[in-house]
A and B are shown apart, each in its own frame.
Chain A
Amino acid sequence: MQKQAIFQSRLLPFALVAPQLAIVLIFFYWPALQAVIQSFLLQDAFGLSTSFVWFDNYVELFGEPAYFEAIVRTFFFSFAIAVSSLSLALLLAVMADRPMRGGTLYRTLLIWPYAVAPPVVGVLWIFMLHPSLGVLSRYLRDMGVDWNPLLNGNQAATLVILAAAWKQVSYNFLFFLAGLQAIPRSVMEAAAIDGARPMRRFWTVTFPLLSPTIFFLLVINIVYAFFDTFGIIDTMTRGGPGTSTVTLVYKVYTEGLLGGNLGSSAAQSVILMVLVIVLTAIQFRFVERKVTY
């Protein structure tokens, strides 16, 4: 069997790949390169002179307690978002996997939130939980909770995690459902005959068999929580109150675009870039090996 496509002209394949390559080079590699260069430069306050400062931007960054806090906060957010949205999605998927009346409708409805853009998610949740406008805030206050995410940093963080996790549930649900449906029915039946009750069947058979899916989603969710929460944070809290919801990505934005400290902002971007590369590498390594079970 001939696996290679045959082209009349030797240039045609290159011409066909060129648009894709151009987009990647211009919109991904060029800015990335710019960021790396920028991270070694220092501009004066008026943008009149630029000097090459080697690693000064990085050194300064790591000497800054706020940056360290942002790292810890980002990791905490990622962890909280990933764990809460994964567990909720898994619960929903297990429920939806059973044969039931209206199952298709239920599944379709659960997938919808994924189509909502992150800033819209932010607005949506703010409407529900805004201290003076929110519907849910009233109930919370009636229950005696002093709910004010605009002033209370922990509550603001909770709100961001909640909204970000909610949005990701659909995506995770979809993968979990597919994963569950890939488990042969006879394996579950064998477990039932082998005397495993439903909960035990879940933890000893279903969960281990889903582990490749869980691992894949864990990486995807962490990457999501790192980067795609920007829209949610920007519409909901703008990083506040204080810096209680400033993540690494949001810090790049505030310091670079709002604060005008391009050198430091670029250095932060480069660090983020390295993080993504590491995460992706881990994922490829494991996904290729299909996580042995």
Chain B
Amino acid sequence: MSLTAAVKTLRIDGRDLSGRQEETILDVARQHGIFIPRLCEMEGLSDVGACRLCLVEVKGQNRLLPACVTAVEEGMEVTTNSDRLQKYRRMILELLFTERNHVCAVCVSNGHCEMQMLAQGLDITHVHFPYRYPKVEVDASHDRFVIDHNRCILCTRCVRVCDEIEGAHTWDVLGRGIDAKVITDLNEPWGLSETCTSCGKCVHVCPTGALFEKGRSVAEMLKRRQFLPYLTLMREENE
């Protein structure tokens, strides 16, 4: 296949852009500074299309497509930010806020939280769905890290980074629907995990304050995400 055949030209929000055929709409948008909200997607991890925040409109398609897993196609016309998409994104984020107990004011990630920032960016000044107030646990059994399930949004970044990058597969998901939760090993306390290498990757990919380092107080937990693209780049070069 020639080099030119692998390049697709498309239009995103009225801008004529191009991307390699294996790239997704989100990849190309990101390269050109077009912001599409997302919480489950993360560069360097596999894509699951679960948070539904990156849904975009593609001309000629009667359904909305997740930008993180939709490959670019020649002549595609993408709208990333219509009123309808904004409305859906606001609703989805609001639903997340109602699901567990997100108290930004006392959160270690206050001011550095992806969900909090997205909410502000989408003009969410309040949540019009009623809150659930479920009783969920905090597991502080690990020496260095804590998981506070109150703040977990089930993006599964921790599950994927642990499996795909660290290769430990300590994290996984237990249960279904609204009762689903991330677990370590076979739902044992994190501190007792025999597979956890304490590498801390899960903590730093976590978009909220659900995973954090011990000893961090309100607003003190800064996540260092740069390691992931760097690691994947180094691995690709070694291959």
- Co-assembled chains A and B: no
Residues of A within 8 A of B (CB): none
